[in-house]
């Protein structure tokens, strides 16, 4: 069977998601050392289903258009589709800090991120760097002020970084 150009590019994008999931899983395994036995079981499952919503057409197609098909020629419609897909992804997946923003009628609260979603988030961030070295820590420090996260969560993230740095040394 001969594949069209569209099928080839979509297949390539599909496998890029799989590669990301594998990297998140590998980073998550490193983080399991900081978990109780019960937390390890739950984290293992979370890592298996990580970013599963990206396979839903409501996310897959806009991401594909944004990252692959129109990477160098994006228009307002492509941006609109991507923004809505990204917002959907953040609101469905509690390993994104944006999930934990509670916007009321008159105020905004930044909720504490529980341990398992926090560890999955760290694995997600680490998957792009494949280690928890100084580069990763510097990336977090440069992005930290842009993130609207609870102070307690911020402290826990930095505590995990210290533990990971000591472990990797």
* pLDDT attached to residue 18: 94
Q: For residue 59, how many other CB atoms are within 10 A of its CB?
A: 22
Tens digit of each residue's pLDDT (9 = 90 or more) over 51-110: 999 999 999 999 888 887 666 677 888 899 999 999 999 999 999 999 999 988 889 999
* pLDDT attached to residue 139: 76
Say which range, 8-22, 39-53, 61-75, 143-157, has the weakest mean pLDDT: 61-75
**pLDDT, mean of residues 34-57:** 95
Tens digit of each residue's pLDDT (9 = 90 or more) over 124-141: 988 876 555 556 667 788
* pLDDT attached to residue 136: 65
* Cα(158)–Cα(91) distance, integer angstroms: 24
Burial 94-128 (b: 16+ CB within 10 A, else e): bbbbebbbeeeeeeeebeebebbbbbbbbbbbbbe
Q: For residue 92, how many other CB atoms are within 10 A of its CB?
A: 15
């Amino acid at each position: 069977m001969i594949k069209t150009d569209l099928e080839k590019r979509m297949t390539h994008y599909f496998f890029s998601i799989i590669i990301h999931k594998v990297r998140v899983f590998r980073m998550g395994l490193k983080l399991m050392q900081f978990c109780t036995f019960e937390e390890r079981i739950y984290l293992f499952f979370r890592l298996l289903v990580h970013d599963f919503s990206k396979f839903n057409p409501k996310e897959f197609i806009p991401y594909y258009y944004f990252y692959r098909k129109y990477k160098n020629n994006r228009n307002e419609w492509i941006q609109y589709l991507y923004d809505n897909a990204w917002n959907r992804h953040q609101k469905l997946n509690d390993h994104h800090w944006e999930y934990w923003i509670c916007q009321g009628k008159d105020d905004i609260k930044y909720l504490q991120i529980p341990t398992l979603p926090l560890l999955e988030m760290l694995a997600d961030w680490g998957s792009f760097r494949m280690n928890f070295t100084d580069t990763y820590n510097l990336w977090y420090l440069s992005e930290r002020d842009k993130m609207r996260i609870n102070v307690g969560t911020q402290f826990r993230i930095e505590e995990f970084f210290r533990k990971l740095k000591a472990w990797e040394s």
